[in-house]
Structure 1
């Protein structure tokens, strides 16, 4: 069976399942979404260990937390939301909204989130009456297959149609590209090249942009608390998430306080350009990211860069810089537990450093703001174009949605047109439905005269 025949067989099976599934009630599709989320929650430890062993990146404890937190927050947030049939009646304007399934949703998933990415996309798709076909990263196919097995076992217990969730067991670039062209809509969570292929597939696609989270630190905050949050985010899953903090931008007159707080909370500060150059040359040879550094531990980083004397209990490396944006290669996204430290005189300069760093890499994604000054906080969106601004939170775990903020829980973070994406928010089930509108004439609707319309 050739590639296209194989993909068509998957899509045909998915369509048969979806046609049966779309007849089911809101309660039934909700039960299906809940069941697959709970299956991942219940097997978090097994899946986390498999993911680290297979992908050779990240941390087991972080991946356990991701499986548990993302599954429960996703279900909690979608639990009582309408996604089938009539979802809204607007009596004033005579509009009734009707939700319809898209059909078969394809999901090309990343090696950094090999479990929660397929789970979240599947929960959102099933919530709206769709079927799903997953194409995992080749280096995460084993844990991907296991996750789908567990989700399908949960669906079988509910008597759901077979083949609602399928996975390509031996993924290739050809299969992922072919899937994008065969399904009704594709969610692509991967690198810029893969997202570009998705957008060129001829089918609707929802992709992501590159992360490079800037951390803007004001003068009026508790620097010890900031250090704790920044390190928690930067070290989560060894820094492979697009939501992890990357660059700390703090006041020049507070830099000693910032460094002391970081050190007190487990950071090792590289304060000389000779050692900083060792990191630059190894992690970004000729300015290009060295994939050997992805998800590495502190000691692995030290070995790769040839650094000596790094304490065993170090949680994160913090590196001094020389300039910012294109003057400093460490201003780029770093998929390992390291922070680059930048300083500013005025808040305007702080925002400009963040803007310039993101213009180089990461436009449209996210920033974290540590400040208690509302004027400063609300000035950032006027200068820095990103899709989400987390205030006094841990970026690594908050930007993708959390139980204590209002962002929709997701594993697919849209970056708007700044990041070459179709959406500028966290992917949610509302993106995986078609909404039809029934329009009634409103007999008593006020209709102004032309003079009223054009009057000052």
Structure 2
């Protein structure tokens, strides 16, 4: 049995916990007694670092961010295993955020030399580093906070000595080591980052006394010690965020925002809502929505049992921090349904004697009824004053209620006032409001006894209120400059190369089958008629390889074309795009270009501009991939098995030519696989968290064309009308998912192809309705994170597409079921097999690869746009359902 192909994530594994003892360019403190001497060494390293230029610093900052980003999953696993807190998949987001968003925020910020110069006024501002930073890292966010603080120190030319939490020292120091080794490899001095191997009270106190500044993130006792050390300290205070739901608020959005926040990493981010205060007029509706989305309302004595289990002696019970709701209930001796996501205690007192009035840092939420807005403000003010001064407060309201918003703003003594925003994700910045700085250290100003207000940044001298209203980020609709379609259009469209673009030399990329069968001859004739010299490369394999691309690009460099024409299926077009990139920018690296991103606009790696040297024309010969209008390409290293998924709009072809004449010889198997792939593209684009009015219309039309014409194209291969409409469907769906992106269906299908060699379209089809049911859950475990995606509504979207395709029913549920049945009928008609096992996949090998395949599907770039944010175990269950043909009537949490 051959081994499964290796992925990029596997090719670069994180250092394990034992690496703290290995040789490395770190300063490691092994005993309390040697700390002072080690700090002297670190100061020498920092002194050298202080002489670096901005260019040197930015190179180091970039390398460190890339390295941390690449190890987000192993570090998340390590943090959960070591601390027993939180959710691994959510810690992946934290690690990703700490690397990618922080890099994006500060990549262009000048931190060296002259910052401002006013010659007329005689004012010059010069940046100088502080020196040695003492970084105290909490157990709740051990890896993401380490990444965040390390990157800030590297960007500002400071050295950093870490005092990790004893219960999280291995994961913290592993994260620091990953950043440090990448930084040193990029030119940073050795010893610029270090850590205390066996943290103790004595060592931490010594470090805080001898450092130049302290970054203190953690509990109140530690922060107090930092401020009492005699060293300048940037510490944070506790949060006790009261979220008011006004009677003008969008209830569905409000409740789902709170649930999304409260369940993120099991409620451990200190900005998370701790109590919700609901106006009387909407109280019952809010309660019903909470119950619908997985909250369980405690009754009677159970309220006190849970409250007194989580809050003990006026503080949070460490054993309950970051734990799932059912586990908390069990510890309190309370029975709740297994699906419970959050425990809610309806309560009245806002006094500190009430455990529900405290910061809880876990999956429980206090709920108060307010008779009017003034009463709500009074309750919120008291909760802030007794446990969350300076931290965060939330308001859910119709933003036209400006007087109420001003009253709330004036009353709240908090440095983050979040409007209509999930507080966990919103408070840390740059996700739901793009002016709020991304940070994992949230200051509370003088109100909270802190030396700075707001999210940790370079401006820490004033208390600044940041009123952050929720905003939907800019979207886009990007296509090739020109798209030509209709049977026989290719020779006419190709005239553009000479008449408009002035091309003189064309290079054709295709596969051997198409070349030997003469499919490229019409292109060559058209080029000859225009006097355009041409050459061809036809050694493209079904899964294009780097080796093949390098062979082709060598011919391209020798030939020096001004246009590349890729003809074929997705493989030929992908290979052509890669050759185009290698030709225009030979210095770029695939491992950089393939770096994953949460938001394509904020990615660490930036693609160079394409098209200045050479244009790119894509001509499909099958009706499936839509690659002629997409910014995607996949290339495989034949030596290592690593697949590099390359995504960027610079890879968008200059021109697409969709000529049905090139598709009339598709065999039935290709018609089936490519056709159902089109439907998958349309469905995933339509329910994507990034779907828009611009992508919705073409996704709907593409889906309907599949239902109307794929059976005919399959049954009657020479039917021109059916082929023509399927070609259009493929191109339309390609445009839709190029801008809305895909989801977990494609993530899982990619791995079925990589591990078990199921053709891509059929790999999508065999799980299609199961993934749709999974996405359609009204109470998903997690929903996707994107500012425009307000609450789970995938079922309504599927039903809308179903109606457009001709399926009816009395309500969304019935239409959805009929739509799913219609898809299954279509699959049967075109020969799609029912299960993974039916494709000859060996059960033993399937089970052996299941864990790895599921994790890699989770890590696939397409997963991020899925409406339901998947857990790895959930992906695994869908795979097993599809292998064993188990019923999938519900995937509710």
The 3 A distance-change label for structure 1 pair 276 and 144 is same
Q: Which residue of 2 aligns with 1:320?
A: 346
User: In the alignment, is the contact (CA less than 8 A) between 1:400 and 1:410 conserved in 2?
Assistant: yes
Q: Which residue of 1 aligns with 2:83?
A: 55
Q: 1:179 aligns with which of 203, 207, 215?
A: 207
Matched, 1:263 2:291: yes
**CA shift at 1:341, angstroms?**
0.4
Matched, 1:132 2:160: yes
User: In the alignment, is the contact (CA less than 8 A) between 1:247 and 1:342 conserved in 2?
Assistant: yes
Q: 1:346 aligns with which of 372, 376, 401?
A: 372
2: CA distance between counterparts of 1:58 and 1:252? 33
User: In the alignment, is the contact (CA less than 8 A) between 2:438 and 2:455 conserved in 1?
Assistant: yes
Q: Which residue of 2 aligns with 1:441?
A: none
| Aligned-partner SS, 1:325 | coil
2: CA distance between counterparts of 1:107 and 1:291? 22
**CA shift at 1:195, angstroms?**
0.9
1: CA distance between counterparts of 2:285 and 2:431? 31
Q: 1:421 aligns with which of 428, 441, 450?
A: 450
Matched, 1:26 2:26: no
Q: 2:192 aligns with which of 120, 145, 164?
A: 164
Structure with the larger RCO, 1 or 2 (CA within 8 Å, 6+ apart): 1
Q: Which residue of 1 aligns with 2:99?
A: 71
User: In the alignment, is the contact (CA less than 8 A) between 1:273 and 1:320 conserved in 2?
Assistant: no
Query: Please, which moves more after superposition, 322-331 or 46-55?
Result: 322-331
Matched, 1:81 2:130: no
Q: 2:417 aligns with which of 386, 389, 403?
A: 389
Deviation digits for residues 169-213 of structure 1 (CA, Å, limit 9, x no counterpart) = 111121111110111111111111111111111111111000111
1: CA distance between counterparts of 2:196 and 2:313? 36
Deviation digits for residues 338-360 of structure 1 (CA, Å, limit 9, x no counterpart) = 11101112211111111101111
Q: Which residue of 2 aligns with 1:361?
A: 387
1: CA distance between counterparts of 2:449 and 2:123? 32
Deviation digits for residues 97-148 of structure 1 (CA, Å, limit 9, x no counterpart) = 1111101111011001101112111111121111111111000100112112
Q: 1:411 aligns with which of 416, 440, 462?
A: 440
Q: 1:6 aligns with which of 34, 47, 61?
A: 34
Q: Which residue of 1 aligns with 2:302?
A: 275
2: CA distance between counterparts of 1:143 and 1:288? 26
**CA shift at 1:422, angstroms?**
0.5
Matched, 1:107 2:135: yes
Q: Which residue of 2 aligns with 1:250?
A: 278
2: CA distance between counterparts of 1:286 and 1:184? 35
User: In the alignment, is the contact (CA less than 8 A) between 2:60 and 2:187 conserved in 1?
Assistant: no
| Aligned-partner SS, 1:414 | strand
User: In the alignment, is the contact (CA less than 8 A) between 1:10 and 1:133 conserved in 2?
Assistant: no
Q: 2:178 aligns with which of 144, 150, 157?
A: 150
User: In the alignment, is the contact (CA less than 8 A) between 1:127 and 1:429 conserved in 2?
Assistant: no
**CA shift at 1:331, angstroms?**
1.1
| Aligned-partner SS, 1:129 | coil
**CA shift at 1:5, angstroms?**
4.1
**CA shift at 1:91, angstroms?**
4.5
Q: Which residue of 2 aligns with 1:302?
A: 329
User: In the alignment, is the contact (CA less than 8 A) between 1:34 and 1:123 conserved in 2?
Assistant: no
Matched, 1:214 2:242: yes
Query: Please, which moves more after superposition, 422-431 or 284-293?
Result: 284-293
| Aligned-partner SS, 1:425 | strand
Matched, 1:230 2:221: no
**CA shift at 1:81, angstroms?**
1.0
Q: Which residue of 1 aligns with 2:45?
A: 17
Count of residues paired in the alignment: 430
2: CA distance between counterparts of 1:156 and 1:2? 22
**CA shift at 1:39, angstroms?**
1.5
Q: Which residue of 1 aligns with 2:357?
A: 331
| Aligned-partner SS, 2:322 | coil
Q: Which residue of 1 aligns with 2:402?
A: 374
2: CA distance between counterparts of 1:211 and 1:421? 13
Deviation digits for residues 344-381 of structure 1 (CA, Å, limit 9, x no counterpart) = 12211111111101111111100111112222122112
User: In the alignment, is the contact (CA less than 8 A) between 1:227 and 1:258 conserved in 2?
Assistant: yes
1: CA distance between counterparts of 2:281 and 2:458? 46
| Aligned-partner SS, 1:243 | coil
| Aligned-partner SS, 2:443 | coil
Structure index of larger Rg: 2
2: CA distance between counterparts of 1:93 and 1:350? 50
User: In the alignment, is the contact (CA less than 8 A) between 1:268 and 1:316 conserved in 2?
Assistant: yes
The 3 A distance-change label for structure 1 pair 76 and 319 is same
Q: Which residue of 1 aligns with 2:267?
A: 239
Query: Please, which moves more after superposition, 323-332 or 349-358?
Result: 323-332
| Aligned-partner SS, 2:306 | helix
Q: Please report the TM-score for the alignment, with normalisation by the length of structure 1.
A: 0.91
Deviation digits for residues 248-275 of structure 1 (CA, Å, limit 9, x no counterpart) = 11111211100011111111112x3311
2: CA distance between counterparts of 1:286 and 1:101? 42
**CA shift at 1:156, angstroms?**
2.6
User: Tell me, which stretches of 5 or more residues in structure 2 are unaligned?
Assistant: 1-28, 462-893
1: CA distance between counterparts of 2:272 and 2:241? 6
2: CA distance between counterparts of 1:294 and 1:356? 24
Q: Which residue of 2 aligns with 1:46?
A: 74
User: In the alignment, is the contact (CA less than 8 A) between 1:138 and 1:171 conserved in 2?
Assistant: yes
